[in-house]
Amino acid sequence: MKVAVLSPVAWRTPPRHYGPWEQVASNVAEGMVKKGLDVTLFATLDSVTGGKLEGIIPKGYEEDPEADPKVAECLHISHLMEQAHRFDIIHNHFDFLPLTYTAMTRTPVLTTIHGFSSPRILPVYKKYNRRVHYVSISDADRSPGLDYIATVHHGIDLARFTLREQPDDYLLFFGRFHPEKGAREAIDIARRTGRKLVMAGIIQDREYFAREIEPWIDGTTVAY
């Protein structure tokens, strides 16, 4: 089976640091390569894969101050869709924009919806509900207005993590600081259980961080 995996081009795939959608796209692509599938990863040209790499964007636009994000995205998506006939299936990890290209091809398109940035993007998903096959990342993240073929939770590459059978006595929050990610709730849990909390991640919403997170950071009970 020939599979095209469409990754975003904000960051390299897999990302050097931040880049959650790129990381999941990489995990899926490499997993299929290990299973013997013919996988082509469409990503930035500096990306790394055990399969075939296709792309026209040199590096992630978040790492290139000269790049125009929308131009990079349109060129990247069209680069795949104009040769979609080469593949048996396309797995889209690039949000809603690629859906608008799907009428150009008869190749089945599977889209993992990694989250809804805003209710305003739902009309695009609804328009292509009958054409594209949707996968949710959790049952809670599903939109009642869409049809899904499955829920597949985000996985991790266990080879990148070291198992400690005797863990240290602290909790960890690892993710971007944004109201939807539950950083403040993690602080509340740590306080109620009397355990230290170590927090790490990029600050995406600075007002939220200053209001809900920063006042609790003391380096002892909450460390960042």
**To the nearest whole number, what is the mean pLDDT of the chain?**
96
> How many other C-beta atoms can be found within 10 angstroms of the C-beta atom of residue 20?
16
Q: Domain residue spans in the chain?
A: 2-151, 162-223
Q: For 35-156, where are the alpha helices, taking DSSP H only?
A: 69-81, 122-127
Q: Would you say residue 53 has pLDDT above 90?
A: yes
Confidence of residue 168 (pLDDT cuts 50, 70, 90): confident
Question: Rounded distance, CA 178 to CA 162, Å?
Answer: 28
Per-residue pLDDT tens digits for 173-203: 999 999 989 999 999 999 999 999 999 999 9
Per-residue pLDDT tens digits for 101-138: 999 999 999 999 998 888 899 999 999 999 999 999 99
CB under 8 Å to 46, separation ≥6 — which residues? 12, 58, 59
The CATH class, in words, for 2-151 is alpha beta
- Mean pLDDT over residues 205-220, rounded? 96
Confidence of residue 163 (pLDDT cuts 50, 70, 90): confident
CB under 8 Å to 162, separation ≥6 — which residues? none
CB hemisphere CA count around 32 (13 angstroms): 21
| Per-residue confidence (pLDDT) for residue 79, from 0 to 100 | 98
CA separation, residue 176 to residues 2, 82, 170 (Å):
34, 35, 19
Name the E strands within the chain. 2-6, 38-42, 52-54, 89-92, 109-113, 133-136, 148-151, 170-174, 196-200, 222-223
Preceding peptide of 20 cis, ω within 30°: no
In contact, 139 and 153? CB cutoff 8 Å: no
Per-residue pLDDT tens digits for 9-39: 999 999 998 899 999 999 999 999 999 999 9
Query: pTM of the prediction?
Result: 0.87
